[in-house]
């Protein structure tokens, strides 16, 4: 069998995915599952055609959001939202505040009405940094502490950019003791996706790097695991109240 280049590279940096059992109190973090990154034709960074990895990410995230909402467990949704005229280099203008690009995808729009859901708009890649408020407090840190979250389950887009940046900052903050009682950060692989920008298109772009989807998704999970996150192939839930 002739291995594809992507498989050769993945073989060079293999990692193990596990079945993770989530015990409450757990919190679900949805990273940027918004039209501007997920809905075909919805702006400069949206997919140009239906994308299997992104579709799966939305389906899995919506299932988890339903389960968390049914149990009234805390959910935090980051929504990339930029002020008009303020670019996020090196990307073209995207997800401008007030446009539908910066809103949750149709499959998740309903969570805005749920009392256990916190919506946090951010204007940078990293949701941890984006949660810093004018008075120096951090809305994400407060959310973890107020809900006494011990396990964080993270899904969303892009695996190797906003998901990874958030996971790295969260693990650094946890290691410094800023996020007690948080113990574990779990990244659910099928609940994450990234975009596809093949090298054949990148050679025509001055700023944007090539970004082969499958490989960059793998890299994002690998880097998160390298920081101490658990990478879940499957998540099970331990029903509260049971021994």
Question: Between residues 67 and 93, which has the closer beta carbon with respect to Zn ion?
Answer: 93
CA distance 80 to 73: 23
Question: Between residues 60 and 101, which has the closer beta carbon with respect to Zn ion?
Answer: 101
Q: How far is the CB of 45 from Zn ion (least distance, A)?
A: 8
Distance of CA 118 to the CA centre of its chain: 15
Q: Which of residues 20-49 bind Zn ion (CB under 5 A)?
A: none
Using rule CB under 5 A, residue 80 touches Zn ion: yes
Q: Is the dihedral of CA 82, 208, 163, 198 positive or negative?
A: positive
CA distance 35 to 221: 23
Question: Between residues 16 and 207, which has the closer beta carbon with respect to Zn ion?
Answer: 207
Q: Which of residues 199-238 bind Zn ion (CB under 5 A)?
A: none
Q: Which of residues 106-165 bind Zn ion (CB under 5 A)?
A: none
**Segment interacting with Zn ion (CB under 5 A) among 72-80, 126-134, 144-152, 184-192:** 72-80
Q: How far is the CB of 123 from Zn ion (least distance, A)?
A: 7
- Convert residues 174-203 into a mask of x (bound to Zn ion by CB under 5 A) and - (unbound): ------------------------------
Closest CA to 214 of 231, 234, 186, 195: 195
Q: How far is the CB of 95 from Zn ion (least distance, A)?
A: 5
Residue 118 token pair: 């916190």
Number of C-beta neighbours around residue 88 at 10 A:
15
**Segment interacting with Zn ion (CB under 5 A) among 34-42, 82-90, 175-183, 212-220:** 82-90
Number of C-beta neighbours around residue 41 at 10 A:
9
**Segment interacting with Zn ion (CB under 5 A) among 80-88, 144-152, 178-186, 217-225:** 80-88
Question: Between residues 80 and 196, which has the closer beta carbon with respect to Zn ion?
Answer: 80
Name the 3-class secondary structure at 48.
Answer: coil
- Contact partners, residue 35, CB within 8 Å, separation at least 6: 42, 43, 46, 100, 101, 102, 103, 104, 105
- Contact partners, residue 44, CB within 8 Å, separation at least 6: 91, 92, 93, 94
Question: Between residues 120 and 150, which has the closer beta carbon with respect to Zn ion?
Answer: 120
User: Would you say 37 and 109 are in contact if contact means Cβ atoms under 8 Å apart?
Assistant: no
Question: Between residues 24 and 103, which has the closer beta carbon with respect to Zn ion?
Answer: 103
**Segment interacting with Zn ion (CB under 5 A) among 10-18, 84-92, 127-135, 201-209:** 84-92
Rule CB under 5 A: which residues touch Zn ion? 80, 88
């Amino acid at each position: 069998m002739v291995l594809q280049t992507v498989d050769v590279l993945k073989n060079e940096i293999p990692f193990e995915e596990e079945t993770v059992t989530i015990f409450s109190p757990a919190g679900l973090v949805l990273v940027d599952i918004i039209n501007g990154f997920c809905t075909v034709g919805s702006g400069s960074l949206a997919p140009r055609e239906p994308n299997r990895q992104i579709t799966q990410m939305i389906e899995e995230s919506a299932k988890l959001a339903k389960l968390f909402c049914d149990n009234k467990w805390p959910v935090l949704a980051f929504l990339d939202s930029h002020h008009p005229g303020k670019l996020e280099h090196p990307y073209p203008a995207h997800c401008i505040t007030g446009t539908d690009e910066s809103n949750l995808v149709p499959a998740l729009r309903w969570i805005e009405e749920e009392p256990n859901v916190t919506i946090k708009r951010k204007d940078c890649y990293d949701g941890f940094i984006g949660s810093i408020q004018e008075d120096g407090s951090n809305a994400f840190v407060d959310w973890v502490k107020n809900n006494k979250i011990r396990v964080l389950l993270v899904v969303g887009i892009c695996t190797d950019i906003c998901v990874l940046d958030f996971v790295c900052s969260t693990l650094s903050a946890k290691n410094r003791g800023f996020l007690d009682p948080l113990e574990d950060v779990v990244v659910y692989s099928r609940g994450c996706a990234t975009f596809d920008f093949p090298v054949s298109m990148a050679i025509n772009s001055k700023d944007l790097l090539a970004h082969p989807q499958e490989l960059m998704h793998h890299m994002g999970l690998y880097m998160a695991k390298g920081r101490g996150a658990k990478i879940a192939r499957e998540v099970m839930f331990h029903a509260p109240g049971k021994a």
